Amino acid sequence: MKYRTLGDGLKVSAIGIGCMPMASKAGGRINYGHADDAESIATIHRAIDLGITFFDTAEVYGPLTNEELLGKAIRGKRDGLVIATKFGLMGPKGDFAVDSHPANIRRACEGSLKRLGIETIDLFYQHRVDPNVPIGEVIETLADLKREGKIRHIGLSEAGAGTIRAAAAVHPIAALQSEYSLWERDIETEILPVCRELGIGLVPYSPLGRGFLTGQISSRADLEEGDYRLNDPRYSEENFAANMKIVAVAKEIAAAHDASPAQVALAWLLAQGPDVVPIPGSKRRATMEDSVAAAALALTADDLARLEVVAPRGGTAGPRYGERAMAMTRI
């Protein structure tokens, strides 16, 4: 496995694992199709065997159960791993709420430490910017937690350029987690340049377009009843066919490299710079192994040019989220 360095000297595997799909349960807050806990744990163990060091979760995934599962999986295997989790999308009563008040940050940190079964969180992200709490106050609270040995590095998620600058003026920021992929490139305009100016690494979530870019989904009928993506604007009947054009080119490039479309999509991200570390979500060993192999795939200049034509910035059909979720991003 190859390794990369994010901001603040944080070294991680070139590809991480997004654990959120492992929290998928019928009737739950997250549903990407049913996840089997035993297979999820086996997936984490296999990832560690393959040299993956970077694992991403959040208290809101489940809620709470995803951290518990990851904690169970890494028991006895903690050394050398970088465990990232997030706060700020749950209130003190366990309700879904944007809340980054200092007391709630501390509550979330203590809960995450307990559920993960670790003494220190390696990377602690603010999951969404809280417009009711100055970012300086948030970062000062996180800096205190770092001094207390409860976290090692500070991260932001879906923050806007101004917020990133204000946060970095208080304390070094190791990483920004934001959606970035062949079908979501808007951060290239302002946010990615700011991160690079400030030495902040980028951790793209949904690097496979919530599964769309894998080439495994040919129609909406391939999704299980209740799957969250049936409500995703880019998976809608009106946008699905247009977005499949990206997948068609990714499949052609994949065939030329004896690779998968998912590997092409991840290799494209890795080619965007050494400070980019995608975290594809997975709940099965087979899909995780496929994703991890992307670290060894080098796309040619012609490959990259073809992808630029079919997936230009702003060229994807439909918004990436519905109106409510979009209002919580890039503040």
Q: Which residues are catalytic?
A: 61
Helix (H/G/I), strand (E/B), else coil: 5 = strand
Largest CA distance in the chain: 54
Residue 9 phi, psi (nearest 5):
75, 20
Do the beta carbons of residue 65 and residue 57 sit within 8 Å? no
Give CA–CA dist 88/86, Å, rounded: 7
Helix (H/G/I), strand (E/B), else coil: 189 = coil
Give CA–CA dist 158/179, Å, rounded: 8
Give CA–CA dist 314/207, Å, rounded: 16
Helix (H/G/I), strand (E/B), else coil: 125 = strand
Give CA–CA dist 261/250, Å, rounded: 5
